[in-house]
Chain A
Amino acid sequence: DAGVIQSPRHEVTEMGQEVTLRCKPISGHDYLFWYRQTMMRGLELLIYFNNNVPIDDSGMPEDRFSAKMPNASFSTLKIQPSEPRDSAVYFCASSHPGQGGGYGYTFGSGTRLTVV
């Protein structure tokens, strides 16, 4: 299994531009999570999906952020318009409760976003 795949690995964009981050979860995992990691705020849950349906988006900071999961193998996180304070590492993770007796997430490699 290739694991959770995120793209791009790095993104540098100018303030005001639209940014789209992509994630392919592990096949068979029915939960998908988007986290943001910064030095100041640590790992913050932005939104998560179960069976492609958004369950909790209370962590999405503002209306500028949106996420979709059109099918079981693909999700996007979009920021429009982007601002410098959005600079962070964005992680996607997936899980399948009960797999191997555990409930831990598998994280992707992350997307390092820099907004200048």
Chain B
Amino acid sequence: GENVEQHPSTLSVQEGDSAVIKCTYSDSASNYFPWYKQELGKRPQLIIDIRSNVGEKKDQRIAVTLNKTAKHFSLHITETQPEDSAVYFCAASIVGYGNKLVFGAGTILRVKS
């Protein structure tokens, strides 16, 4: 089955700097890659996603890139703010095959002001 690895497990950045979180997946059939943000004690919330027919997607300060050949995808957050501090999860699934998401282990992002 699919296996998603996520790095780093923790990341500390200074406010205003950029943060990058990377994930690799094992199943080349995976074609949908969402990212979730989970604040302490809250539910995971979808912040951005990308499909395999696209190489990059941006939404204001966040962007996701996908390299299908290497089977990895990354989350980029620019101009980080204290409210970006949270746990971020990547995930992968095969759309049309149950829509079952497999999650990475998560990255704790701390933005220091």
| Residues of chain A whose beta carbon lies under 8 Å from any beta carbon of chain B | 31, 33, 42-43, 45, 48, 50, 55-56, 91, 95, 97, 102-110
Q: Which residue of A lies closest to B93 (CB)?
A: A103
Contacts of A43 in B (CB 8 A): 44, 89, 103, 106
Let me know if B34 and A104 touch, CB within 8 A.
Answer: yes
Let me know if A103 and B32 touch, CB within 8 A.
Answer: yes
* Main SS at interface, chain B: loop
| Residues of chain B whose beta carbon lies under 8 Å from any beta carbon of chain A | 32, 34, 42-46, 49, 89, 93, 95-96, 98-106
CB distance from A96 to the nearest CB of B (A): 9
CB distance from A67 to the nearest CB of B (A): 15
Let me know if A97 and B95 touch, CB within 8 A.
Answer: yes
* Main SS at interface, chain A: strand
| Cross-chain pairs A/B with CB under 8 angstroms, 25 sampled | A31-B98, A31-B99, A33-B100, A33-B101, A42-B89, A42-B105, A42-B106, A43-B103, A45-B101, A48-B100, A50-B98, A97-B95, A97-B96, A102-B34, A102-B46, A103-B49, A103-B95, A104-B46, A105-B34, A105-B46, A107-B43, A107-B45, A108-B43, A109-B43, A110-B43
Question: Which 7 pairs of residues, A with B, have the shortest CB-CB distance?
Answer: A104-B46, A107-B43, A43-B103, A104-B34, A42-B105, A107-B44, A103-B32
CA distance A105 to B43 in the complex (A): 11
Let me know if A55 and B43 touch, CB within 8 A.
Answer: no
Contacts of A50 in B (CB 8 A): 98
